[in-house]
Amino acid sequence: MTIIRDEHAATPGLAIIDKYEEAVTYLYPILQRCPRVHGNVRDTMMAVLFDQVGLFYQAAKSRQPSKLYAADANLATLRFWLRFAADRRLKIISTGQHKAMLRLLAEVGAMLGAWIKTAKGNG
């Protein structure tokens, strides 16, 4: 399978999108297999998961630090839903899947933190 990249989409700081894509690629199939009884949680998690990409692009295009904080808040929201889904009483995702996803998000969070620090330094 060949992946085609859009060279026109290159915006400074968007290596974070590639890193976040790893997290989405990991979590999406897990959520797709989520039992129907947890459909509301799955749908909410999917919305938060996919909204993040738009928040990154809005932050990059607008160059407004407030957009970076919105992206950071959405990552925190995603972490909440992951913690909720990993609850042993719900068993939507396993503890191992939760830990793996948190590792992926930690990398994204570190990149976002550096981006915020840079934006604050320029402002």
pLDDT value at position 121?
80
Q: What is the pLDDT along the chain (123 residues), one digit of tens a residue?
A: 565 555 545 454 589 999 999 999 999 999 999 888 898 999 999 999 999 999 999 999 998 999 999 999 999 999 999 999 999 998 899 999 999 999 999 999 999 999 999 988 876
Asked if residue 22 belongs to a domain, the reply is yes
Identify the CATH number of the domain in which residue 103 sits: 1.20.1440.60
Give the number of domains in the chain: 1
Asked if residue 3 belongs to a domain, the reply is no
Asked if residue 7 belongs to a domain, the reply is no
Asked if residue 34 belongs to a domain, the reply is yes
Asked if residue 93 belongs to a domain, the reply is yes
pLDDT value at position 7?
53
pLDDT value at position 71?
97
Asked if residue 70 belongs to a domain, the reply is yes
pLDDT value at position 61?
93
Query: CA dist 75 to 39, 107, 120, Å?
Result: 21, 12, 19
How far is 61 from 58, CA to CA, in rounded Å? 5
Residue 59: Cβ-neighbour burial (10 angstroms; 0-12, 13-18, 19+):
buried
Asked if residue 78 belongs to a domain, the reply is yes
The pTM assigned to this predicted structure is 0.85
User: Which residue range(s) make up the domain with 26?
Assistant: 15-122
Asked if residue 9 belongs to a domain, the reply is no
pLDDT value at position 8?
45
